[in-house]
Structure formats: structure tokens, C-alpha cells
Structure 1
Amino acid sequence: MGLAGGAVSVSLFSASWYRVADLKIRLRKHAHIHRHQYRGKTWYVLQDHVTGQFQRFSPEAYQIIGLMDGRRSLQQVWDVSCKRLGDGMPTQDEVIQLVAQLNRANVIQSDILPDIEELQIRRREQAQRKLVQQLKSPLSVRIPMMDPEGFLSSTMWLVRPFYSWFGMLLWAFIIFVGLSLSVVHWEALTENISDRVLALENLLLIALVYPFVKVIHELGHAYAVKRWGGEVHEVGIMLLVLFPVPYVDASAASAFRNKYQRMLVGAIGIMVELMVAAIAMVVWTLAEPGIVRAIAFNTMLIGGFSTLLFNGNPLLRFDAYYVLSDFLEIPNLASRGNRQVAYLTKKYLYGVRNLTAPAGSRGEGAWLAFYASAAYIYRLFVMVAIALFVASQYFVIGSLLAVWSIWATLFMPILKTITKPATDPELRAKRVRVITISSILIGAIAGLIFLFPVPYKTQTEGVLWVPQDSYVRSQVSGFVESLEVSSGKQVIEGQLLLKFSAPDLEAKVQVLQAQIAEAEIRLEASLRDRSASEILREELQFIQREYQRAQERLKGINLYSSASGEFIVPDAHRILGRYVNRGELIGYVVDYNQLSLVAMVSEDEIDQVRNQNRSVELRFSSSPNDVYKGEIVRALPATTQQLPSLVLSTEGGGRIALDPNNEDGLKSFRSHFRIDLSVPDAPKQRYDERVYVLIEHDPEPLAYRWYRSIRRVFLRQFDV
């Protein structure tokens, strides 16, 4: 029957029964039992109001606990339960295990005076377990602050209307308005978003806004617990990656019989943040550019994006995890999932028999195994990513966190696997098989990582780049009078492209003419004064030189083609009558035989691109299904932040983030290496066309690649 979670005993009687048979046990006053339904089966949940802990028991165990009234001895309890349960009667060992479980939870008392020393030891053990739990999660340390029950009770009347159908409809309306506005203003919201978010002043604003949003989030949980009769006795600060955020202990919701109430308590924080984000969307739409609009934007970012990424991700043990657990009706989804994986390993890999499965059905077992595997992989990724981020700001602390995270998540399970045969009673009989299979598995994984070469490729993007001598730039500041050649037509060298009028330059020529005439008259009048005439003569010569330069510029006001090719004006339909500044880019004269194919490679990948090239494949965005062979002509030796085209940036649909402080829009956030490519059999391309580049390197084991990646992280982030 497994009342206390152990395996079924073979014998009905126990050699230790005489020690406990005369005990008269009953539940403490602070322990209450609630009836729940999980996946069509009845279970009973025991709640300890003092510690906030919960224990789950089967109906058979509940019958035995119900007989413990402080008047019956344990022998009488067992006798009665055997008559009531019939074939499902418990063994004496199972009753002992049940009593031990209740005693460890400190929810029972007996007719024997309590051992004060034992209670102190138990309290120290609880404190030690709590400390160990904190050490296992060094990136999220909880610090309790106060009991908010009185505050919540006195203010519940203010928020009670929102925890109703009226509140649900109001929430849905606000979300609808926020979503509608976000769709309308999507382009403005996402324009250069990575650069805006990563700007130093914006990161500071996020740090100031985040705690206030999380306070509202946690209050949502607390009031939801109160709404359905629960109590909240702990609120505090959680150091999430050393950043203080509030939290409340809403574990009292586990006692609710209705699973949808439990789900709503878990989901209410996400719902509240989404509503705050929707309200911030309205404020952002109505506000003028400034601090209010910036706060609204960051509130949307926190309440929308980060909420869905973290709290809305069930693979992390935040809100969505508890919602999923209640929806599937699988309590303790994470811990039972780990036990299910251990059970499957023992049964099918090590051949251990007579095991008790943590899952009550095949469907529940599949969910447990899938969740445990997916959560482990995702948790490892998130912990390492967070630790590296912290290390980039605080090297010593972050490095320790990274080492601890990798040890606790990756190497500790391997160590437990190695030592399992010596510590697990269920594996001792299969010690040789366990050690053999474990050694083979660890050796195979090590071989795949350190010895087996796997394909290695670098993916990047390039662009068909127009050389600088193909640019058509205005020679003067003025207005475009006429477009002598339509965009897209072929031109020859020296052909007239555009005619300009430059009123400012023409006026300057007229002013200089008048100044020359005036200077000549003044020079004639001062011929008798030798020193004055020399000064006036030099002034006249200066004005004449300015006049000649202005005349030359006026003669060259029209634009002529400097080469033969196709004349392209991107804004041909708007160019006529437009005022352009001197040096402004108007168009191109493109010779498609002279286009350069340029790609940008990150500093992390340049060594392999330079030294280990087996082949280069290219796909043009105009014909993505056609693959062309290419070769690297040149790799520039120095890094650059200057991009050849916006096509390669995130603003143009590429991969490279722009520097948020950049003014001309072509400076990348990080440095890259430029490589020039050639494609002998390429079709006719368009200028500024995106090219997808795939460079294949020599196969190598994963360990070498990981080593280089870790080394590059330390070089880039920590300069060590």
C-alpha cells in the first residue's frame, strides 16, 4: 500500500512494532487535512499552519490518521484499520513509516511528554535543510521580512471586486485595448529596440521600475490567496541574481480543493503584470516623448516580455510551473519527475525489480519523465547564462556562481551516479551491472565529447556592396531641377544624370561680383597710399579667388556619370524639387560585374574562417533555393565596427546589433571582421542584396569547440 512512500513489505508484522504499539497519537491543532482530486483519484493533503508545509496521503493513510484521536493506542488503530480496509490493510512497517513521516513533519503529539532536546534537534535540522536549499539555489536567495496578514485583511475590501467575473471582464478589456494599440504602433515600438533597451540610461530606468512592477505582481498572489480563504504570513526580499525583488509565500493555496482556484492563484501574477503592461501601452500612446513615456515603455517590457519569458515559462519553478502542475493534477511535478527518471533508470537500465513507481498511471509517468528532462536542460542553460552575466559585472562573485551552478547542475548528478551503488540499497544487489553500465555510458559520453569529430560550420550574412566610386553624390547644396535619366536605365561615362539649381550659390556669385567691383574702386582711390593699396590689393585677390571657386562649383552643379552601368535612384519618385545638401548620396551607377560580395564575421569565429575552410556555400535572398559555390578572396586583418550596409544590421533584417550611440546608423555594437568573397557562377544580382553564407570547417570534437567558446567568453567579458 505504501502509506509513507516506501515499498510494500512482504510480512504483515514488524519486529519493531512493540516499541510503538502502546503509543496514543493525535494530530496537533495546527494541522488540518483537505480532500483533493488528482487525475480522477482521491488524495488527502495535510497542511501545517505553523511551518506552511504540506504532506500528501492516500485514502488508506487518511483512514489510519483519522483513527489517531489520542485515545486509541497504535495497536488499536492498526486492528481497526485492518478490519475496515480488508485486503488493502496496511502492514505494521507501513504504519511505522507513516508515523515517522508525521513525526518528522512535527504535526503529531502523543501521550508521552515531548523530548525537548529532540525538538531542538529537529528545529536545527529544519534550519539546516532550509540553508541547504538556499545553497542549492545561490541565484535566488530568499530573506523573510514581515507577516503581511493584518495588512491584507484590512485592505481586502478594496480589491475584492476585481477577483470576480467583473474583474475578469475588465482585465480582458484592458488586455484587448493594450494588444490593439501594440499592433497599431508595432513598428514604433520595435524600432531599434535592442539599442534602446541596452542604452545605459535605459538599463538604469529598468532597474528602478522593475521592483515596483514586482510589488504589484506579488500583491496579486497575496490577495488571490485571501480571496479564497487562505492566509499569507511571509513577505520578503529575494536576491534574484543579486538584484532585490519582493516575494510573498502563497503556499496556502495548496490547500484549496478546487484546482482552478489554485491555478488562478499561480497565474494571477502573470495576469496582473500583463494588465499593467497594457495600461502602460495606453500611457505610452498618449504621452509625449520624455520620462513618462520612457517609464511606460520599460513597464511594457517588464510586464510583457520578461513576464512571459520567466514567470510564464513552466520549465522554471515560477508561476507557470505551479499552474501547469495544478492543470495536469500532478503535485510536486519537478521532484516527482526526478524520482520518475530515477525509477525508469533503475528499472530498465539497471534491471532492478520490485520498485514502486512515483507515477500513479502511464500518462502521469510520461509527463513526469518529459518535464524532468526538459526542465533540467533549460535550467542548466539559464543558470550558466545568468552566472556569466553576473560575472561580466562582478568577476569574483559571478565566477563563483558559474562554478557552483555548473557543479550543482551538471557534475553533482554524475558524481551521484558513480556513488549510487554504494549508497542506494536498491542497487547493491546489482552493483556490478550498475558500475559496468554507468562506466560504459560515461565513457561513451566522454568519447563523443572529447574524441568523436562532428561537423562544424559557420553561418553568417553578407551583402552585395557597391564600391564608393559608384556612388552619385551632390556636388553642391541645392534643388533637383530634373532627372535626365530614369532610374534603372543604362548610362555611359560622362552622361548627364541630374540638373540642379543652387540659389544660394548663385546669390553668392552675385555678391562676390559686387564685392570685386567695390574692391576695384577702393583700390583705384587709394593708389597714392602705398600701404593701404597693398592691403586692398590682397583683399581683392582673395575675393577673386573665392569668386573663381564659386564659378567652378556653379559650372559643376549638374551631375554626370563617372562610369558606365545602371543608374539607380532609390527615391526617384520623390527626388524632383527636393533640396539636397552637398555630399548627400542620391543614387548609384552600378556595374554588376564590379559588385563586391562582403560578409561580416564575429571575433569568435574568425580563426576558423581564416584557417579551416573546406567549402563556402552561398544563397542569394532573391533565389534562396539555389546554392552557389564561393571562395574567400580576402579576410581583413583588423576588426571594424563600420558596416558596409544597413542590410546586415538588425534594423535591416540582419543579425548584427547597432551601437545605440551611433549617429550615422552604420556602426555595430560589437566589432567584426570583414571578408571578401567571390562567386564565379553567380547570377545577376541586385545591389544591397542579402547573401546567406555557410562556411564549412574541418570536423572536430565538441570539447575543442566548447573550450574555445569558454576561453572567448573570458577574454571578451573579463579580459583575463
Structure 2
Amino acid sequence: MGLPALREELRLHPGPASADGAPTWTLQDPSGNRFFRIDWPTFLILSHWHAGSPAQVAAEASSHAPMALDSQDVEAVLDFLGRSELLQCTTAMDTRRLDLAARGRRRSAGSWLLHHYLFFRVPLWRPDPWLQRAAPLVAPFFSPHFAYLSLLALVLGVLGVSRQWEHFRHTLVGSLDWNGAKAYLAVLIGVKILHEFGHAFTARRLGCRVPAMGVAFLVLWPVAYTDVNDAWKLPHRRDRLQVGAAGVLTELGIAAWATLAWTLLPDGTARNAAFLLATTTWITTLAVNASPFLRFDGYFLLSDWLDLPNLHARAFALARWKLREILFDLGEERPEVLPPARQRFMIVFAWITWLYRLVLFLGIALLVYHLFFKLLGLFLFAVEIAWFILMPLRSELGEWRQRWPAIRSRGRDRLWLGAAAAIVALGLLPLGFLIESQGMLKPERSLTLYSPGPARLTGPLPAHGTPIQAGAPLFALEAPELEARAQLASARAASLARQLEMAAVTPEKHADLPLLREEARRVAEEQEGIATERARLAPLAPFDGVWLDPQPDLQPGDWVGKSTRLAVLADPSRWRVETYLEEQDLERVQVGNGGHFYPEAPGQPVLGLRVSAVERDATHTLGDPALASPNGGAILVRQHDQRLIPERAVFRVTLDVDGPPPASLSVLRGQVVVRGEGQSQLGRYFKAAVAVLVRESGW
């Protein structure tokens, strides 16, 4: 029986040599704009396809090459051609086969919508005729002279930026606002259009057809695209690398000249435009287009450079095979035979790509969630997680299910099932009895002493650890301005007293008595205020205590400013620790629970603790600056009106020192460990996930 005829419009192009030096060819399907790399045996079989039966084709092909082909080789090629729809449709059976394939590709309305929400293309223009007419205009940009000039511009621009780095950095920070974001978006659109024209002009210059340019939407985010699939027919790898690198090289050229322009132009609109152009192209080129982990320019460049078409698919197949061998030792044949070094590279590359995509797709899912209203955002978040993360996992688990008899026969399934059961058991057991946080050790009763205003110290401050009796003076300050005000007030009071005496005995001045009395009352109030301020300059101890942490290097006669911290008066008989816990840990702590305090200061003993108070209202303002993240603490805060506001809800917990007071008599920061109610890690994660789901969905 004869073989079905090949489609007449198919084209064969010489391809690059394979890794072992054998020739290859590229089979082009013009109607679908598809390309297939075929090896020498396949080429020979296709060249003698007209010979008749598979045995006759194999015999004809073998007679023209130093290799032995049989009918099974021809049938394998026939299967490939049928699956790729490269055969002519001449019988009712062929029609049914194509109809079944078309039905298999159809999706339900919901599936179609979800697939096209994740990715779809909108071709806007058929640029091939215009590219051919405009080619002479852009020819100078392909010359070696322009490349050398651009390289020189890059070097000079980088040197210029290094000399003005602080100005460049401040300009970048200053542009990170909404107006700057809109400007960056406008520049980004223009740069990406030039990027695509770089691909298009390079492909057309090498004789390739460019059938379409347009916009692709990746999770509703617009991305310009150019159809340069025709580059697959180029026989030389260097030519394909030129097409793949053209967009990145276009952006790098723009970045080089824009960077140089920024260093040379005076401040103004032109320099701001050059700055936006330079930073946009540098960031997008290096962070996005050069990445080989997604199907952007970096991926195709790496694929062509290594001469590994379909790099992701082949690397993923090898990585899945290696994973099954590690887990189950199945002894299966590897998907393809490669040199050991290249095989290791592809496996590691696949694993890194999986990790990169996991982080990226989780980020995209969160971004999609926040871009839409809650219910739709939550649904699209679930779609992202299901499509990009859960479906690949489901597919691999399906492969394991098909291999289950072989997996059981190898015996490793019991090892891994046991390990998985142990991990789940550890996750379910309430083992997390200890709750760790950061806290401050301080006296239960203490008073931080500050200077009430600008003043001069009249005597030495007591030394650290000096006992202070209740009612004893703590320190003495003097304020010459206050003394001057006191003298003026005294003189004014004496003058008013004489005027009142004279007005009382002089009938002509009786009418002035009310005004004089009012002025005398105002001066008396001023004197009372001055006396109060004098008392604040020489305060008395409100309780028996110890003088702690005096301001160092303060000597009699030194000036201090308003609110300058001078020392702490503390009652050393009782000490406590204050810490802050998050909500999931607060539920596990009760009054009476024990714990320990581990001071950060070296040489300090560990102190026993007992929980004495648990606040159920979240702390709005952090009272201990030493626990704030800007000061090296563990609590993330933001500053607002000189207040430290926690970024996440935290609750204050007070613990009494259970035992003798610390010998250092100092306020210390340290680690707090409290024995609380046990909680399983899996239960904790589940509760946190449910809480986020309920909170964000608005239920």
C-alpha cells in the first residue's frame, strides 16, 4: 500500500549541523507558520517518499546513504507527519482524523476565556512590505562603525555617570512617584516598539518574512510582539542569534546614547528625557528581556547559542526524569542522550526555572488579586495558582500514578511514604510550645528624667547605681533667661504695690485701682509660673530608687537642650519585661505562664519570668524605641508625627522577673522565650490561610 502524499506547500531548508556534526534540515509549514527540525534519516525518507510502501522508501533511502533504514523508521516518520498534520487529506478517514483533532483542540467557553485571559495575541499590522521599503533608511545602524560608536558612547556614559553618581541616584529616587511612573510607562511603550522593530528589520535584512506585528496580553498586561518565526529557516546559528539579540541590542544602543546624553546635557527637559530613556532601557533589558527563564529574548538567545531548540521542554523532560530517578530509582531511559555536562546543565537549569516561575507566578497572582475588586481578584488569584502551579503538579502526579506498579516494585515508595507521613505527623503534632519574641527588661516603677528646657547644669549628676531617697533633689539646673524673667516680674510686682498704695490714698487715682489690681494679679500669676518652672529645674525624687544610666560626659556648667535625657530613677526591688506578640501567638499565652529572658548584652545572666498581664487590644504606638526596626529591633514600624506605628498588629505582654533582681540594674534588650500552649505548624498555616481568605474576601 502506498504512503499518503505530503502537502504540496511544505518547504525544506538547510539547517545547522547537529552536535555530532551530522547535517539537519528545517521543514516549513507556511500555512501554519510552523517549523520542524529534522535529522538526516528523516530527510532521506522524505526525499524518497514517492517510492511507494514503507519498505520501498526505506530501501531507496538506504541506497543513497551509508545507513540501514527499515520500514519502522518510515512508519515513525509517517506518525510524526500525521500528528503534525503535514499530509494531504484525500480520504474520508483523513477527514475524520482531522475533525477529531480539531474537536480535541476545542475548548469550552469557560476554558477558552481562562486560556485567553492568561495569554492572547492581537496582530495589528502586516509590516513586511513597509520593512522592505524602509530597509535602506536603517542600514547605517547595522554597520560596524555604528556599533563601535555605540560602544564608545556606552563607555563614556558609564564614566560620566560614575563621576555624577550621587546626582544620578538622587534623580532616580526623586522620579519614583506617580508622575514618574506615568513618564516611565510612556517611555517604556516607545522603547518596546523600537525593540520589536529591531527584531523585524534584522529578520528582513537576513531574508526572512515578517508576517505580523502587534500586542500580546500576558495576564492582561500588554506586551509588544513581532512574528519572526521565519528565522527558523536560517541555516546558520549566527544569523538566528542576530535576530534573537536584535531587540536587546537595540535597547542597549538606546541606553548607551541616552546615558551619554544625560552626562552632557544641561539640566532641563532634554536631560530629564535622556534620564528616563536610559534608566528604562537598562532596567527592562537586564531584568526582563535578558532572562532565560521565560520565553523572552534571553531564552531564545540561550537556545540558539546552545543549539538546543525547545530548550524549556527538553530541559523540563530531563528534570522530571531525574526527579523520578532520585525519588523512585525506576531505571527508565532518559528522554534524550546528551553529554554528561550538558545534561547536568539542563537539569539544573530546569530546576532553577521552576523555582523562578513559582516565585514569579505567585507575585503575578497577588498583583492580579490587587488589581481587581475583591471577589473577581480572589477568583483570578485562584486561576493563576491552579493554571501555573497546581496543574503542572497534577500532571506529574498523573505520571506517577501510571508508573505505580514499577514504583512499588522498586521499594522506594515505602521510604518516601514513610518520610512524608513523618513530616505530616510532625506538622500535625502540637510541638510548638515555645514562643519567641524580643523584649525590654526594665524596673516595674521607673521615671526617665529629661531637661524641661534649655538650662545649665549647676552640679554633678549622681553616679550610676547611687541610691536616692524619696524627697531628695535629683539634679539642679539654672536658666539665666528664667532668672531674668523672675527679676523683671519681682520689680514689676514691687512697682505695682507702690502704685496701689498711692492710688488708695489719692482720690484722683481711685479710678486706676481696677486696672492696677488686674495687672498685679497677672504679675502674680507670672511669678507663680516662674516658681513652677524653677521647681522643674530642681525636681525631687517621688519614691525611693536608684540612679541609673546617667548621661555621660555631663559636667557642672554644661548646657543641655530641651527634652535632653539625663538619667533614669528606678525602684530596684521589682523588675519586669515588656514584649509584643502577634495575634496568632497571643492566643497561646495566659497569665501565669513561665519563660526566660536572654539579655543581648554579653555577660548578663538569664532571668526567669512569669506572665503577669496580656493586653487584648493592639498597640497603636510602640512605647519602646529600642524594639523598633530602625533601631535594630524586631518590630517593623513606620514613623508618623514622631510616633512609631507598628506595621502589623502586635499586643503588649508584661512578664515579672521571677527571682532576684538583675545585678546590672540597667535597662536591657533581649530575647524573650515564653512557654505557651502547643500548636501544630500545619494548623497554624491553615488558620492563617483561612484568616486571610475570610479577611480579603470581605465575608
Give TM-score, length-normalised by structure 2. 0.72
The counterpart of 1:398, out of the listed 377, 382, 391, is 377
The counterpart of 2:520, out of the listed 526, 535, 540, is 540
1:407 shift after superposition: 2.9
Q: Name the CA distance, whole Å, in 2 between partners of 1:223 and 1:325.
A: 19
Give 5+ residue unaligned stretches, structure 1: 1-17
1:666 shift after superposition: 1.4
Matching of residues 325-474 of structure 1 within 5 Å: 325=303, 329-344=307-322, 355=333, 357-392=335-370, 394-413=373-392, 415-416=394-395, 419-420=398-399, 430=405, 433=408, 445=420, 448-449=423-424, 452-453=427-428, 456=432, 460-463=437-440, 469-474=446-451
Q: Name the CA distance, whole Å, in 2 between partners of 1:441 and 1:641.
A: 48
**Preserved CA contact (<8 Å) 1:487 1:572:** no
**Preserved CA contact (<8 Å) 2:374 2:696:** no
Q: Name the CA distance, whole Å, in 2 between partners of 1:404 and 1:240.
A: 14
Residue of structure 2 equivalent to 1:602: 582
1:306–1:131 CA distance, 2 compared to 1 (3 A): farther
Q: Name the CA distance, whole Å, in 1 between partners of 2:661 and 2:427.
A: 36
Matching of residues 577-588 of structure 1 within 5 Å: 580-581=561-562, 584-588=563-567
1:669-689 Cα offsets, whole Å, 9 max, x none, are 332223345677998779786
Q: Name the CA distance, whole Å, in 2 between partners of 1:681 and 1:268.
A: 72
Residue of structure 1 equivalent to 2:622: 643
Residue of structure 1 equivalent to 2:41: 60
1:396 shift after superposition: 1.6
**3-state SS in 1 of match to 2:77:** helix
1:358 shift after superposition: 3.3
Residue of structure 2 equivalent to 1:664: 642
1:707 shift after superposition: 0.5
Identity level (%): 17
1:368 shift after superposition: 3.5
Q: Name the CA distance, whole Å, in 1 between partners of 2:324 and 2:225.
A: 38
The one-letter code matched in structure 1 to 2:423 is: L
**Preserved CA contact (<8 Å) 2:258 2:274:** no
Q: How many residues align?
A: 673
The counterpart of 2:683, out of the listed 693, 701, 704, is 704
Q: Name the CA distance, whole Å, in 2 between partners of 1:482 and 1:502.
A: 11
Residue of structure 1 equivalent to 2:568: 589
The counterpart of 1:475, out of the listed 452, 455, 477, is 452
1:257 shift after superposition: 0.7
**Preserved CA contact (<8 Å) 2:328 2:407:** no
Q: Which moved more, 1:274-283 or 1:353-362?
A: 274-283
1:498 shift after superposition: 7.0
The counterpart of 2:147, out of the listed 153, 159, 164, is 164
1:509–1:127 CA distance, 2 compared to 1 (3 A): farther
Matching of residues 112-261 of structure 1 within 5 Å: 135=114, 142-147=121-126, 150=130, 153=134, 156=138, 160=142, 164-175=147-158, 178=161, 202=177, 206=181, 209-210=184-185, 212-213=187-188, 215-217=190-192, 219-220=194-195, 222-223=197-198, 226-227=201-202, 229=206, 234-239=212-217, 242-244=220-222, 246=224, 257-258=237-238, 261=242
**Preserved CA contact (<8 Å) 1:473 1:585:** yes
Q: Name the CA distance, whole Å, in 2 between partners of 1:309 and 1:571.
A: 52
1:622-656 Cα offsets, whole Å, 9 max, x none, are 54x99957546344322113223444444334454
**Preserved CA contact (<8 Å) 2:124 2:215:** yes
Query: Is residue 2:5 matched to residue 1:28?
Result: no
Q: Name the CA distance, whole Å, in 2 between partners of 1:651 and 1:102.
A: 66
The one-letter code matched in structure 2 to 1:257 is: R
Q: Which moved more, 1:242-251 or 1:370-379?
A: 242-251
Q: Name the CA distance, whole Å, in 2 between partners of 1:334 and 1:475.
A: 70
1:242–1:40 CA distance, 2 compared to 1 (3 A): same
Give 5+ residue unaligned stretches, structure 2: none
1:309 shift after superposition: 6.5
The one-letter code matched in structure 2 to 1:538 is: E
The counterpart of 1:86, out of the listed 52, 63, 66, is 66
1:400 shift after superposition: 1.4
The one-letter code matched in structure 1 to 2:198 is: Y
**Cα RMSD for the two superposed structures:** 5.9
Q: Name the CA distance, whole Å, in 1 between partners of 2:495 and 2:57.
A: 126
1:34 shift after superposition: 3.4
1:296–1:330 CA distance, 2 compared to 1 (3 A): same
1:364-400 Cα offsets, whole Å, 9 max, x none, are 3333433434433443444344424543553222221
**Preserved CA contact (<8 Å) 1:472 1:587:** yes
1:368–1:339 CA distance, 2 compared to 1 (3 A): same
Matching of residues 524-535 of structure 1 within 5 Å: 525=503, 533-534=513-514
Q: Name the CA distance, whole Å, in 2 between partners of 1:260 and 1:629.
A: 67
1:598 shift after superposition: 3.7
